[in-house]
Amino acid sequence: MSKILFYITFTIAGKDRDIMVIDVRLVPEGRSEIERETRLEGFEGDLPPFSESLKCTAAADRMEGTIVVSLRFAGGFGLECARCLEVYRQPVAGELRVILREEQGRYGASLDDGAGVDFYFDANHELVDISSAIYDEIMTALPLKPLCSEDCEGIKVESQDDAGDGGGKPADPRWAGLMKLKSGR
C-alpha cells in the first residue's frame, strides 16, 4: 500500500485554495490509500459554514485506465436549529464510490452517459476534481429540518408566569384571606 497525494494547491487570484483533486499520474496499479482533509473550497458559497473540516479516507483501485475510488468522509457544519434558531454543530458523514476512466479526448464529469463512469481523464487532463461528487453526497446527508436536539422546545418565551390564566396555579398567599371571605367560609 502506498500513500498518494490527493490534492494540488492551485493559486487563483493570488489566493491559495485547495479542492478535491486526484492526480491520476500518482495513482499506482492495484490498491492504494488516500487520506485528505478539505473544506471543499470550490463550494464555499453553496455549503453551510464548516465547524470541522471533512476528513476523507479512500481506497483507490486501479486497473489500467480505470480507477475506482471508495471514499468515506466525516466532518461538521454549523447549522441553525429550525426551532430555537440557535446555531449548533451538525456532524455529517457519508461514503461514496466514484469511477474514473481514461478515454482520449474526454475529461471531467461524465454527466450520466450511462457507462457507469463518473469522471473521465486523458493524457492531457490528469487532474480529476471529484469535489462535485462529495458535495452531492453532503447535500443528501444534511438534515432537511435541522434540529439542535430531537426534543428542542423552540424559542423560550420569557415571563409566561405572569400571563393572566390563574387556572391551576396556586393563588398568591396574600389573597388567601380575601378568597375565604368571597367563598363565605
Residue 78 Cβ, how far from Zn ion at the closest point, in Å? 13
3-state SS string over 113-169? CCCCCCEEEECCECEEECHHHHHHHHHHHCCCCCCCCCCCCCCCCCCCCCCCCCCCC
Residues of this chain that interact with Zn ion (CB under 5 A) are 81, 83-84, 148, 152
Instruction: Give the C-alpha separation, 90 to 5, whole Å.
Output: 29
Residue 138 Cβ, how far from Zn ion at the closest point, in Å? 22
Question: What single letter denotes the amino acid at residue 147?
Answer: L
Residue 22 Cβ, how far from Zn ion at the closest point, in Å? 39
CB nearer to Zn ion: give 22 or 81. Answer: 81
CB nearer to Zn ion: give 71 or 148. Answer: 148
> Which residues partner with 102 through β-bridges?
121
Residue 53 Cβ, how far from Zn ion at the closest point, in Å? 24
Please answer whether residues 3 and 33 qualify as being in contact, where contact means their C-beta atoms are separated by less than 8 angstroms. yes
CB nearer to Zn ion: give 82 or 99. Answer: 82
Residue 152 Cβ, how far from Zn ion at the closest point, in Å? 3
Nearest CA among 111, 131, 127 for reference residue 43 = 131
Instruction: Give the C-alpha separation, 129 to 118, whole Å.
Output: 11
CB nearer to Zn ion: give 2 or 149. Answer: 149
CB nearer to Zn ion: give 58 or 81. Answer: 81
Question: What single letter denotes the amino acid at residue 54?
Answer: L
